[in-house]
Structure 1
């Protein structure tokens, strides 16, 4: 099914202020009527207003709209587990699935959305910041992604010179549970692809490796292990 992009600019009015927002939605193919965790919104008259419901829900990544029943369902696909909406909500064959764009402050790359948090925080605080935005600390699966992240977020004019100066960012990589066995935090999976900086992770100083359990990405896309209490920027993914 061809992707259909719908752009809208909506003005929300309240007694205190008025805000304008715009976003894109694209229609996706249905797969066996099974999608990740969802929430049922009130029935709405048009697919446009169904999109508005999803837009106002920070955790909504996709939405389903039944043209017959006017039923609107927001899909929270960052959660684990699947349910059959057709059985639960009685959806008709006129139901279509749309994907919400990345949103303000997020950048899209290969169908994933990324957010660069500039504030300097610990790894745990970075993880919580991402979770608050219904996302997770970035999980890097290929050199192309690592290079793109560095080029997009870390090679900035206001960054100090030098590989290890402030323009580094936390990733979800860590060996907190088992020393030397690095995993991605959100998916809890071992790393198939790695992109370590030379002599990392703490190869020449194994004693220091005991206290360097979290991974950040450097200006050149390479990785470094450091103490999780170190203050750094961070990159979220969803």
Structure 2
């Protein structure tokens, strides 16, 4: 019995709990977000990796190695592990669930990166061409973002893209706030591929796009409303890099 106890708790023996920060000996750090105290997210707006039971808050933190954070209830000793960080739209603030607390990971992806499922994303205000954007992501051991589902596209729109067009307006982007993504048809016209040469399957084109205007729009940009547009590759836009959380 003692051997089982020791095995179960060995990884959690060294920890710090200072004010609202949990730090474990496995280099995991979590900050309690008081904004969402006594709230549970609406199931339509959140995905759990899994829900663990009969654990202390430190055991929950130790289980959250590649997750965005966790919810915890000290009396129930239950903790759902989160695929992505939550925000105001994830909760119905008029419905209180007393006892629940939200702990957010502050370092699973690194400074400036955001976790979604098992991938990390970073929005960069660089004003780069498509080729420069691809190279910049590569130098950070990442790749120009590869959007493979409507759910992922929506998450990027809600969590990474500027909500205010004033933040990215210029004479070429109008209210679109173009941001480069990793799709292009530079190899073969009308056959869009990601930077790893995989064919694009999911798409979210603007109406009447892609239109290859003037025969030289081969790279794909993302508008702040989440819709896609084919664009001239030498235009300079902001970029989104993506990498696998496991390295």
Matches within 5 A, 1:172-191: 172-186=182-196, 188-191=197-200
- 1:207, distance to aligned residue in structure 2 (A): 5.2
Q: TM-score, normalised by structure 2?
A: 0.52
Does the CA contact (< 8 Å) of 1:7 and 1:24 recur in 2? no
* 1:171 partnered with 2:171: no
- 1:154, distance to aligned residue in structure 2 (A): 1.6
Aligned length: 146
- How has the CA–CA distance of structure 1 residues 23 and 105 changed in structure 2, closer, same or farther, with 3 Å as cutoff? farther
Between the aligned partners of 1:225 and 1:185, the Cα distance in structure 2 is: 15
Unaligned runs of 5+ residues in structure 1 are: 10-21, 26-60, 62-99
Q: Tell me the equivalent position of 1:223.
A: 228
- 1:167, distance to aligned residue in structure 2 (A): 2.4
Between the aligned partners of 2:231 and 2:121, the Cα distance in structure 1 is: 22
Q: CA deviation digits over 1:123-160, x for unaligned, max 9?
A: 01101110110000000001111111111122334435
Between the aligned partners of 2:217 and 2:110, the Cα distance in structure 1 is: 34
* 1:108 partnered with 2:77: no
- How has the CA–CA distance of structure 1 residues 6 and 141 changed in structure 2, closer, same or farther, with 3 Å as cutoff? farther
More helix by share: 2
Does the CA contact (< 8 Å) of 2:129 and 2:235 recur in 1? yes
Q: CA deviation digits over 1:45-90, x for unaligned, max 9?
A: xxxxxxxxxxxxxxxx9xxxxxxxxxxxxxxxxxxxxxxxxxxxxx
Unaligned runs of 5+ residues in structure 2 are: 1-7, 17-25, 30-65, 67-106
What is the DSSP-based 3-state SS (H/G/I as helix, E as strand, rest coil) of the residue aligned with 1:229? coil
Between the aligned partners of 2:126 and 2:225, the Cα distance in structure 1 is: 20
- How has the CA–CA distance of structure 1 residues 155 and 138 changed in structure 2, closer, same or farther, with 3 Å as cutoff? same
Q: What is the CA RMSD across the aligned residues, in angstroms?
A: 3.2
